[in-house]
Each structure stands twice: as C-alpha cells, then as structure tokens.
Amino acid sequence: MTIYYDSRTGNVERFVRKIAAKTEWQCLKITGQLVALKPGHLITYTTKIGQVPESTERFMQTNHSSILSVSSSGNMNWGANFGLAADKISAKYDIPVLLKFELSGLEREVNSFIEKVNAYQPMYNF
C-alpha cells in the first residue's frame, strides 16, 4: 500500500511515522515533483480556517486519479472547520473521507486508519 502525505509543521509526518512502524507501507511526502505512480491514500491537514493546503491542492490537480481516499489532521479548537480539508477534497474529487484526527493522532486513531485502509473496497461504476 502507498500513503501520500502532506505536512507543514510535522504532525502528519509523526502520524505517518507511527503507521510506517506498524506496517510495510510505502509513505511518500508530497513535494512539487512527486508523481503518484501507484494507487494510494492521501493524508493531509487543514489550514487557514477550513482550507486545503496549496501544496496538497497542486498535488491533487495532477494526481487525483491515483488517490483512493483522503484523511485530514486538524484541531478541534477550530470547531466546525475541524479537518474540513478532507471534506473539501472528498467533494471535489469524489473520493471518500477515511479519517479526521487531531494533531499527530492517538494510538487508536493510528490503528483505526490502518484498519480502514485494509478494509477499503474500491467503488466500481459499471
């Protein structure tokens, strides 16, 4: 499995390290050059009051066809804007939200993410 992730201040990075320690998954950080060659799950964060980070948005514009689901780190202090980047990406690219978690995530959220990825069933449109 491949995880594509974006992180500015390190919380998503820490969440991803916990996943990497429990799985054999390949975890790739989004850069301007990264091309999603394999299908995978996106983890990003919410910024600027409910917004998708620009780096995530640029990545999605060219790579969205490889992305199976979206998850967002956030902070519940932001109330209704908690993890809203996941909802915005989900609506724009028609992919499911897998998880919203606070900051670098608790152990149970790490386990929940792994379980949800393992249970993920792609939707086929015949």
Ligand X SMILES: Cc1cc2nc3c(=O)[nH]c(=O)nc-3n(C[C@H](O)[C@H](O)[C@H](O)COP(=O)(O)O)c2cc1C
Site residues for ligand X per CB under 6 A: 7-13, 45-50, 73-75, 78, 81-84, 103
Closest residue to ligand X, judged by C-beta, is 74
Nearest distance, CB of residue 65 and ligand X, angstroms: 24
Q: Which is nearer to ligand X, 20 or 37 (CB)?
A: 20
> What is the full DSSP assignment across 19-64?
HHHHS--EEEE--TT----S-EEEEEE-BTTTBPPHHHHHHHHHHG
Distance from C-alpha of 19 to C-alpha of 60, rounded to nearest angstrom: 22
9 vs 61 by CB, closer to ligand X: 9
CA 21 to chain CA centroid, nearest Å: 17
Least Å distance, CB 1 to ligand X, is: 20
Question: Which lies closer to ligand X via its Cβ, residue 40 or residue 83?
Answer: 83
| Rounded Cα gap, residues 63 and 117, in angstroms | 19
Which two structure tokens, joined as six digits, stand for 85?
A: 């980047």
Q: Residue 121 Cβ, how far from ligand X at the closest point, in Å? A: 27
